[in-house]
Structure 1
């Protein structure tokens, strides 16, 4: 299980996104960003997502 606290990554986001894979966390984060009006996901934003995504221990 992976987790991303998207506050500080996506402007206006206060969610914690959890999913079984990192790819699914990123996909959900991109969907969330678009819902919040972010038109373009920048390389910097993707790098920050990668850095802040944590693998949770079971």
Structure 2
């Protein structure tokens, strides 16, 4: 499982995005950003998504 705390990465976002793959977290982050009014996803924002995504430990 991977997750991204989008607070501070996507303006106005206060949630944690979780998915089974890093690619799915990225896709959901882009969708979330667009829903919150971000019209253009810059390379800098994509890098922030990638850098902020981490694998969680399964119990």
Tell me which residue corresponds to 1:24: 24
| CA positional deviation for 1:57 | 1.1
- In 1, the alpha carbon distance for the partners of 2:25 and 2:3 equals 7
| CA positional deviation for 1:25 | 0.3
Tell me which residue corresponds to 2:41: 41
What SS class does the counterpart of residue 17 from structure 2 fall into? strand
TM-score, normalised by the number of residues in structure 1: 0.96
**Structure 1: gaps spanning 5 or more residues:** none
| CA positional deviation for 1:51 | 0.8
The number of residues matched between the two structures is 58
CA displacement 1:11-43 (0-9 Å, x = unmatched)? 000010000000100111111001000000000
What SS class does the counterpart of residue 11 from structure 2 fall into? coil
Tell me which residue corresponds to 1:7: 7
